[in-house]
Amino acid sequence: MIAMLFIVLGWVAPAPAQIRVMHYNIAGFQGDIGAMEAVLEAMHTDNKMGWDQPVDIFLFNEVNNTAKPKIIAAVNASAPAGVTYVLATYTSASGETSASGAQAMFYRSDTLTEITSGHLDIFTGASRYGDRWYMQLKGYTSAMSKFYVYGAHLKASTGSSNAALRNTGMQALRANADALGAGVPCIYTGDFNFYSNSEPGYATLIAAGNGQGVDPFGNANWTGSSNSLKHTQAPLIDGYNGMVGGGLNDRFDFIVPSLGASDGNGISAMMSTLRSPGNDGNHYNIDINSGNNTYYPMEISRSNLLADNLAIASDHIAQLMEFQVPAKMSAILVNAPTRVIKNAGASIEVKVQNVAPYFTSTGIDPLDFTLACTGSVIGTASGIGPLFPSSISKFVTLNTSVVGTATGNVNVTSPNKGVETPSITLPVSTQVVRSSNPTLEPTGDVDMIQLSIDSQPDLGSISVEAGVRNYLYDSSQAKLDIDSVSFTGTMASRMSMTAGLGSGLTSGTRILRFAFDTNGVTPGSYTAAASVRTSDEDIIGAATRYITVNFDIVVGTGVFGDVTQDGFVDSGDVSLVLLDFGACDGCITDLDGSGDVDGGDVSLVLLELS
């Protein structure tokens, strides 16, 4: 068992996308080295299907001991910058070191890994062995992201005995594939040397069973000029350097997926992509480079160059085929709430997408998914997850009827074959809280109070304060925001709020400071009211509430003893003092501030009589 790694420094190759498979019988590498390198390079840049991409798997026939170092060098020399190839398990059984040679497979080390324990040599008769390789897509862990590749070179030449030997070889390959079980992806490649669809070996390839081959070209006859696009041998009438000639008139070479690799699910053949680069269908039984080649219809020079190189690289031409890869599911919660108000309508967005990288969108298995919820999360949904960067959003709801911690899961699952991350659980944990409750009293739920402002004219701005609290606050209640204030009443234009706005009030007291502008005010009695807008913290379900502060405003004349506020001290003031006689703390008639209106206050007003 031999493993060789070829490293090309530089640009890092992109992540795995769909798989490009090439098969090529290199005729023991009897052809021109430069032409072979040019052909291999053209396999990477082939954009016949609308895109180009580096080959992921090279499968070669007739790799004998002389050819092996040459093909290693050619694969390495033709590799795109930054792409590295590994020689998969290589065995050369007895008899395979002759001109016919063994099979050799190379794979991209950034997209694939060989599971070496899965390699087998399978005796196919006539001293020949086929190979089975077991491959794993990098970036995937599911069982169905693994697949088998078979490579074989069956007995050549016409005649019933040779056809029987080919059938014996194909029976051995099919028996091995059938034993793997139903649905397992397999790719059959090789120079099978089938002359027509009537050969028993071909019938064995496409016979029913777990490993049934599904021919991308269909099961009809492929001989004759009308089927020239399917032919792979030989590119010249007179073979180059002793190789087989005859012109393109035989389909000896095959890339055939099994049922499990052609059902459109997971790793699956893109059936319409099978082609032989350089075969334009117009060179039946003639040299492939005779006249103009139109494989790339709008690029004749490019087509002619490829045909010239194919003519002298081997006595076969190569085949390419693309395979889609499984989906990769991503699911996330978008703006899932951590706190909500009780009984709020809380919707949670679930964003789903297919994050498998790709060269073309048809190279990725479409992502089917379903969504179900548990616990306090409610809802179901299904859909197809679009390819990144696009996404699809589904919405579920949260039960917010009970104060406390609402928990549950959003479970997103995909039934897709080989899908990476087929099940994603998105936990939800949200605190459900009561609404905030503003109060203007420390011990009760009070939404309105009265404040008095006694002043004189032209004293500038004077202040009065009130305290607001979040009544009965605890961790199960929303924080309180003081958002804005508006004033009404006869003195509304002279009122302002100089402190108290802000968010996040919990268990403390927020001081609301109001200012009254006395400048130029005519003595008298006035009113004003402050409507203070409060709200819950900025979470789902936040509501608005108002608290009110009413102001009784008295602006005096500034004359001592003028309790009637008419600008004079006269008998009216004496009468008002006498009317308030007795305990009267805070009354304007308590001139000496004793807390009682008594003879002292009468004496003071009499002294000020005009």
Q: Report yes or no: 133 and 149 within 8 Å, Cβ to Cβ.
A: yes
502-528 mean pLDDT? 95
pLDDT band at 564 (very low <50, low <70, confident <90, very high): confident
> In angstroms, what CA-CA distances link 578 with 110, 260, 338, 592, 596?
104, 110, 66, 14, 12
Q: In degrees rounded to 5, what are phi and psi of residue 249?
A: -150, 5
Place of tokens 């090789």: 190
Q: What's the whole-number average pLDDT of the chain?
A: 92
pLDDT band (50, 70, 90) for residue 585: confident
> What CA–CA distance (Å, rounded) separates 408 from 406?
7
Give me the sign of the Cα torsion angle 482, 483, 489, 493.
positive
Domains, in order of start, for the chain: 2-324 (3.60.10.10), 329-433 (2.60.40.10), 438-556 (2.60.40.10), 560-610 (1.10.1330.10)
Tokens of 305: 């160059």
Paired tokens of 355: 């994050």
Q: For 16-28, what is each residue's pLDDT tens digit?
A: 579 999 999 999 9
pLDDT at 3: 36
Contact 321, 270 (CB under 8 A): yes
Cα–Cα distance measured from residue 61 to residue 105, given in angstroms and rounded to the nearest whole number: 9
431-450 average pLDDT score: 96
Enter the pTM of the model: 0.79
* Packing angle, helices 67-78 and 33-45, rounded to 10: 40
- Omega of the bond prior to 427 within 30 degrees of 0, cis? no
Higher local confidence (pLDDT), 392 or 17: 392
Residue 558's pLDDT is 66
What gap in Å lies between CA 247 and CA 237, rounded to an integer?
A: 4
The pLDDT, as a whole number, for residue 14 is 44
CA distance 119 to 1: 10
445 has pLDDT over 50: yes
Closest C-alpha among 381, 400, 403 to residue 392 = 381
Q: Is residue 556 very low, low, confident or very high in pLDDT (cuts 50, 70, 90)?
A: confident
Chain position carrying tokens 């640009």? 11
pLDDT attached to residue 602: 83
Band the pLDDT of 101: cuts 50, 70, 90. confident
Model confidence at 229, pLDDT cuts 50, 70, 90, reads: very high
Closest by CA to 62, choosing from 104, 23, 102, 105, is: 102
